[in-house]
Structure 1
Amino acid sequence: MLSAARHTLDIFCRVIDNLGDAGVCLRVARRMAGGFGWSVRIFIDAPEVIAPLLPPGLAHVDVLPWAAAEAPDTVPADCVIEAFGCELPAPYRGRMAARRADGEPAPRWLNLEYFSCEDWVAGSHGLPSPQADGLAKHFWIPGFRAGSAGVTVLPHAAPDRAARRAGAPLQALLFCYPYAPWAAWLAQAGQGGQTIELWVPAAGHGLHAASTGAVKVVREPLMDQARFDARLARLDFAFVRGEDSVVQAIVSGVPFIWNIYAQDDDAHQPKLAALLDWWCAGLHRDAAAVMQQVHQAWNSRRWPSAEAGVPSLWQRYLDMLPMLTEHARRVARRVRAEADLGTRLSQWVG
């Protein structure tokens, strides 16, 4: 049931990228409930996907099956988020329009898009799309550049980042799509001189990674979003996939290697290039070049073999890791100092 919070929010989500879509919606819900006292409902077509992500004791957030929104006694919220163009249930949308026809304020309705750092975002974010029933849907586009909706930033405790002991293993995450060249990377990293403790979450479907050489694989069960965030923030680097985990790595100041969700005709490549251009701004050119090369290899599904007498791509990344780490923390401080998506949404609704 909705409480007497200052505002109410309904988020609609159809799961496409497994945990990613659900994770983005849950993060928005947690931000608006915990940061602004809103009462939030998430209507989702796969509640079993989001259930393991819910932090214990989460208040003012209810997760409901999609069909619950179609019930005649479901009253639309003050603000309605249609995540990733999922289309609202017709009965629910009809009640939104009826409210307007009765002279009551219509819900603020927005379509939450996938995030992007591409130049077109500034000219599209916030634009209204008038509907035939008199309602208006606004496009809400997250991103890191000016003119976007920003990204969702949850309050966090500063991670314990004590100086790593000489010779201690690097702590890392492997969370990628099965088509990433993870096996070739693992073999190359296993032959290197740097020991790595590699966290492979249970959500890493299709990754049958096993310890090899310098790399010790640690498998852990799926954990709730708050625990995942805290664990991620303590890592030395992270292979991340989709949208939610790469944004969280950036916000946490962790060097990342992003496996972007692949689209037909390589339509995802400009989005990947735009993010790297933004993140690498101000980074030493040698480190930026390695960052670009690693991402190209990781997303082309071909990890290059080492050549005799030449440092491997992975060794060159490790050589740049101290510089990448310092830069990642600078970027995170800058992002956290800006108004995030939750703040901008609260201001927009009023």
Structure 2
Amino acid sequence: MPPTWDIFCTVIDNYGDIGVTWRLARQLASEHSLHVRLWVDDLTAFTRLCPSADPQASQQWQQGVDVRHWASDWPACATAEVVIGAFGCRLPGPYLDALAARATPALWLNLEYLSAEDWVEGCHGLPSPQPNGLRTVFFFPGFTAKTGGLLRERDLVQRCLAWQTDDTARQAFLARLNVHPAPTARLISLFAYENPQLANWLDALIEDVQPTHLLVPEGRILADLNAWFGEALAVGDVRRRGGLTLQVLPFVSQQDYDQLLWCCDFNAVRGEDSFVRAQWAGQPWLWHIYIQDENAHWEKLEAFLKIYRQGLSDEAAQALLAVWRAWNMDRDMAQAWRALQPHWPTLQAHARQWRSAQAARPDLATALVQFYRNWL
């Protein structure tokens, strides 16, 4: 019998935690034939990503995964051979007691946040003894051979490439969302936290020589969008100003969001899950990193930019840095965006090269399975 896996997820507020764990659970079940239980404390958030799910069910099967509601009233259940606590979440006390009572130890992994910082390589795979006699092991996703890799389904890049060369499928998908861009328009997706530089960027898009069709899935950035337009926009609304067409989209499933990214010429994303999916889309992109106190997130941002810009010319690298820093550090986004335009072909080629390089590494799910085998 294949080993059983338990994944615990505490939903915070931005879908990144449940987004990552839901993708991981599906891949472990479908590609590695594992019995996976995904314990989620907020099924309402889960149903935003998996519309077929029942937000009231204590247990349900979704896409091969045993999804359980993680409630304060913990049910008696057997522990798994592999236990993953995502992003430092604290496992239920009764479950920890059951882990400590096992005749044969389970592998308890602490799946950490994705980061390109130098110290990650040194901490990946390190054990951490716990007061109850158990120990957990730090497992870091990452971009180098000394980390756990990135979430990537086995055929993801091939599916993306096939999609991007199939104009019929692309147009049919956009039509399903009621998106009908002009033939010459550049298609941009925007998924972000609140950002004071949005108005600056929109002003620049209005004046662009090439028209833009901006797709905004409903989310936190809508408040800034409403302030710029001077009205409350709703899902389905389309507005035009100068060379900019703006359209508000509904919050979509993970599969649909992937395809939206594949359709677009440029993707502005946020957090961790969409951060990784934009890289697999192989198009120029922009990351809005999760904001931390005292701007602690800037160090994480700069660490990624240090490795991502490798291979770019000095001019293209500086233009890329200027846009990412403007978006994340409240600098002049309009000026940075205009300076980026001459480097567009270079950034397109670089995004594809980066995707190929990362796809040559083991994916996160495979790395986790191999880590367990080695541990045995």
After TM superposition, the score normalised by the length of structure 2 is 0.84
Q: Are 1:261 and 2:290 matched, yes or no?
A: yes
Instruction: Provide the rounded CA distance (Å) in 1 between the counterparts of 2:144 and 2:241.
Output: 40
Verify the 8 A CA contact 1:175 1:240 in the aligned structure 2.
Answer: yes
Q: Which residue of 2 aligns with 1:213?
A: 242
Per the alignment, do residues 327 and 304 of structure 1 end up closer, same or farther by CA in structure 2, a change over 3 Å counting? closer
Structure 1 counterpart of 2:233: none
Q: Residues 96-245 of structure 1: matches in 2 within 5 Å?
A: 96-99=99-102, 103=103, 105-154=104-153, 155-156=155-156, 157=159, 158-162=161-165, 168-207=184-223, 209=225, 210-245=239-274
Q: Which moved more, 1:149-158 or 1:136-145?
A: 149-158
**Partners of 2:7 and 2:39 within 8 A in 1:** yes
Counterpart-to-counterpart distance in 1, 2:66 and 2:162: 29
Cα deviation, 1:249-281, whole Å, max 9, x if unaligned, reads 112212111110111111111110111111111
Q: Matched residue of 1:110: which SS?
A: strand
Asked if the contact 1:10–1:81 (Cα under 8 Å) also holds between the matched residues in 2, the reply is yes
Runs of 4+ more than 6 Å apart: 163-167
1:277-316 mapped onto 2 (5 Å cutoff): 277-304=306-333, 312-316=335-339
Mark the CA change 1:59 to 1:161 in structure 2 (over 3 Å): closer, same or farther: closer
- Relative to 1, partners in 2 of residues 1:290 and 1:212: Cα closer, same or farther, differing over 3 Å? same
1:348: how far off? Answer: 1.1
Which of 60, 74, 82 is the aligned partner of 2:64?
Answer: 60
Aligned-partner Cα distance in 2 for 1:131–1:256: 41
- Cα 1:269–1:255 shift into 2, 3 Å: same
- Give the counterpart letter for 1:287 in structure 2: A
Q: Which runs of 5+ in 1 are unaligned?
A: 306-311
Residue 309 (structure 1) aligns with: none
* Paired letter, 2:70: W
Amino acid at match of 1:136: R
Letter in 1 for 2:45: V
Contact 2:109-2:137 at 8 Å conserved across structures: yes
1:69 and 1:203 map into 2 onto residues whose CA distance is: 32
Give ranges in structure 2 of 5+ residues lacking alignment.
53-60, 168-180, 226-238
Cα distance in 1 for partners of 2:209, 2:273 equals 32
Instruction: Name the amino acid aligned to 1:192.
Output: D
Over 3 Å counting, the alpha-carbon distance change for 1:68 and 1:7 in structure 2 is farther
Matches of 2:87 and 2:190, distance apart in 1: 26
Higher mean displacement: 136-145 or 196-205: 196-205
Q: Aligned partners of 1:55, 1:282: CA distance in 2, in Å?
A: 41
Q: 1:150 to 1:10 in 2, by over 3 A?
A: same
Partner of 1:51: 47
Aligned pairs, how many? 335
- SS of residue in 2 equivalent to 1:67: coil
Letter in 1 for 2:217: P
Shift of 1:180: 4.7
Cα separation, 2, equivalents of 1:37 and 1:271: 35
- Aligned equivalents of 2:166, 2:208: Cα separation in 1: 22
Q: Is the 1:144–1:151 Cα contact (8 Å) retained in structure 2? A: yes
Deviation at 1:313, TM superposition (A): 2.2
Q: Is residue 38–residue 60 contact of structure 1 (8 Å, CA) maintained in 2?
A: no
The equivalent residue for 1:308 is none
Q: Does 1:251 align with 2:280?
A: yes
Of residues 5, 8, 29 in structure 1, which corresponds to 2:25? 29
**Residue range with higher mean Cα deviation, 164-173 or 233-242:** 164-173
Preserved CA contact (<8 Å) 2:145 2:361: no
Deviates more, 1:289-298 or 1:177-186: 177-186
The answer (yes or no) to whether the contact 1:47–1:63 under 8 Å persists in 2 is: no
User: Does the aligned pair in 2 maintain the 1:11–1:40 contact within 8 Å?
Assistant: yes
Q: 1:276: which partner in 2?
A: 305
SS at match of 1:218: strand
